[in-house]
Amino acid sequence: MNGLIMDFQLTIPAMLRRAEQLHFAREIVTRRPDKSYHRYTYADMVERSKRLSLALGNLGIKNGDRVGTFSWNHYQHLEAYFGIPGAGAVLHTLNLRLHPNDLTYIAGHAGDKIVLVDDVLWPLFEKFKDQVPFEHVVVIPTTGKPVPAGTLDYEELLASADPARYEYPDLDERQAAAMCYTSGTTGKPKGVVASHRAIVIHSLANGMADTLAVCERDVAQAVVPMFHANAWGLPFCCTLVGSKQVFPGPHLDPQGLLEQIQEERVTITAGVPTIWLGILQILDKDPKAFDLTSLRAMVVGGSAAPPSMIQGFQERHNLKIVHAWGMTELCPMGTVANLPAGLDGASQKEQYAFRAKQGRPVPMVELRGRNENGIIPWDGQAMGELEVRGPWIAAGYYECPEGAASFTDDGWFRTGDIVAIFPDGCIQLQDRAKDVIKSGGEWISSVQLENALMGHPAVAEAAVIPVEHPKWAERPLAVVVLKQDQQASPEELIEFLTPHFAKWWLPDAVEFASEIPRTSAGKFLKSALRDRYRDYYATNGAAMKERKQPA
């Protein structure tokens, strides 16, 4: 017997309709390239999204066609988030930090017919535009200058459409709404295609109190780019619940972000740890420089939030970091480290230890870990590759047969992340499978060593990588960036780690560097470090400290 409930389709147009009916007066604020502010309301946003849907239809876009965006975080990008799926088309966010060759491959592989490009990004776009057979290039004028010859002006395009003629389409919730390519662990970038249904359920989940608790009262600042994993779903979730949205545009420097938090009274903000490390340094220098009392949560994910950073914000500035884990393949939210009720009475140390882990699965996300012995116990000790399933998790990659290797025979997604799982379901990420250090057949977690090193007062950043070793196969090497005007010797840093780790986990050597190379998403680019230090043992082996490892 089936339930007698409507088969209401969970679609992005239904989210937009809600914004139109209920949130029309809430504000959306953008910092323009010249640092001036653009302000309007959801009523304006809805109207302009409808215009965009109609204009795309006039340009020949049909159900299922891909429309690319090459943009910073701003209100027109938000319009594209709703206007493109609202035309039945697929929003394809292009990552402007990628190499032109990758962008050529990605836009070509996705088959983008039209692309929307920020005028200020034109020099980057020009590097690959002729390699991709776009039917139309639409330029978003953010500086007031005329758009380049041969392109369409976004504002003129919207002006040509009559929003009164827009009818909310009846879309199938399973159809594609948004796609995003991930660098993946190996091979070419792979396309993750989210359905309308996945985005709606993901947005509902982000609003839950034990997830990010995003609500109407919030003033949300997405620092994480809208071209990366849909800015962690915030633009969708905020529109669904009616939060005020605040976009930094191209101004992602710590100073600019802090100004915006203060001026707009931001309550929730989200980004990768490197951003917050920069912000923490500014606040530590002058704790009174900004009034940040409006902030209730700084969501941090994308790579591990160092415990010293979580503690530093909390104790020195009364600011709360909410640590979360996710992936493009998960739309992207997977787990969030909100303190469970059971830890209310626990010591501060225990509470911080919990908050530094990646957290417990968001409702409807299921997880398990697996190593060569099978499914690992939830004992906080055993390490294995994390596998997940749930209603917003990729079931495959777009036109990519080799991507099948990322899915198990019984339908779970293999994340490529190595975790330990605690009895309460909290995961602790040890490494990317490709970054884990395999010493004498045992695994050493580079993430744990890095986190501990970044707790040293003189250390600004640290990455720990494997170097080839004749006896143990791989041994850890720490690459450390010291804070300005700070000193520390390799011996001192190793001594600092010693109480916290088994002896054989300790790095055999410490190298100092002026910076750690970054990926397009601002994470440490460890492959570049591995290349740089590949032959480290051959040249420095004699000086490396040999550590006895249990047989």
Binding region for ligand ADP (CB under 6 A) = 182-183, 229, 301-304, 323-328, 332, 358, 415, 417, 429, 432, 521
CB 25 within 8 A of CB 42: yes
**Rounded to the nearest whole angstrom, what is the least distance from the CB of residue 417 to ligand ADP in the complex?**
5
* Alpha helices, DSSP H, located in 243-272: 254-264
> Which of 436, 488 has the CB closer to ligand ADP?
436
**Rounded to the nearest whole angstrom, what is the least distance from the CB of residue 60 to ligand ADP in the complex?**
32
Of 415, 416, 313, 412, give the one whose Cα is nearest residue 356.
313
Q: Which of 438, 471, 503, 545 is catalytic?
A: 438
Q: State whether the Cα torsion 8-11-16-22 is positive or negative.
A: positive
**Rounded to the nearest whole angstrom, what is the least distance from the CB of residue 325 to ligand ADP in the complex?**
4
- 3-state SS class at 349: helix
> Which of 158, 421 has the CB closer to ligand ADP?
421
68 bridge partner residues? 92, 115
CA distance 446 to 444: 6
CB 273 within 8 A of CB 306: yes
**Rounded to the nearest whole angstrom, what is the least distance from the CB of residue 192 to ligand ADP in the complex?**
8
**Rounded to the nearest whole angstrom, what is the least distance from the CB of residue 340 to ligand ADP in the complex?**
17
- The CB density around residue 329, as the number of other CB atoms within 10 Å, is 27
Residue where the block lists tokens 């010591």:
347
List C-alpha distances in Å: 95 to 102, 155, 341.
10, 23, 39
> Which of 100, 490 has the CB closer to ligand ADP?
100
The total number of residues written for the chain in this structure:
551
Give the tokens for residue 339.
């303190």
Q: Is 329 a catalytic residue?
A: yes
DSSP state for residue 444 in the 8-state scheme: E
**Rounded to the nearest whole angstrom, what is the least distance from the CB of residue 530 to ligand ADP in the complex?**
16
Residue where the block lists tokens 């088959």:
111
CA distance 460 to 491: 17
**Rounded to the nearest whole angstrom, what is the least distance from the CB of residue 90 to ligand ADP in the complex?**
19
> Which of 10, 98 has the CB closer to ligand ADP?
98
Q: Is 93 a catalytic residue?
A: no
CA distance 403 to 391: 19
* Alpha helices, DSSP H, located in 288-437: 307-317, 348-356
**Rounded to the nearest whole angstrom, what is the least distance from the CB of residue 455 to ligand ADP in the complex?**
16
> Which of 16, 223 has the CB closer to ligand ADP?
223
Residue where the block lists tokens 């909310």:
168
Number of H helices, E strands in the chain: 16, 26
> Which of 84, 429 has the CB closer to ligand ADP?
429
Q: Which of 47, 79, 264, 329 is catalytic?
A: 329
Give the tokens for residue 298.
């700084």
Of 3, 29, 8, 30, give the one whose Cα is nearest residue 18.
8
Residue type, 399: E
- 3-state SS class at 7: coil
CB 322 within 8 A of CB 295: no
**Rounded to the nearest whole angstrom, what is the least distance from the CB of residue 429 to ligand ADP in the complex?**
4
HSE of 496 in the Cβ direction (CA atoms, 13 Å)? 18
> Which of 51, 530 has the CB closer to ligand ADP?
530
CB 279 within 8 A of CB 254: yes
CA distance 59 to 114: 9
Q: Which of 443, 472, 504, 505 is catalytic?
A: 443
Of 259, 206, 261, give the one whose Cα is nearest residue 229.
206
CA distance 17 to 204: 16
List C-alpha distances in Å: 424 to 11, 359, 378.
34, 10, 8
Cis (ω within 30 of 0) for the bond into 332? Answer: yes
Q: Which of 182, 239, 267, 415 is catalytic?
A: 182
> Which of 136, 432 has the CB closer to ligand ADP?
432
> Which of 157, 478 has the CB closer to ligand ADP?
478
> Which of 128, 181 has the CB closer to ligand ADP?
181
Q: Is 443 a catalytic residue?
A: yes
**Rounded to the nearest whole angstrom, what is the least distance from the CB of residue 376 to ligand ADP in the complex?**
17
Q: Which residues are catalytic?
A: 182, 329, 438, 443
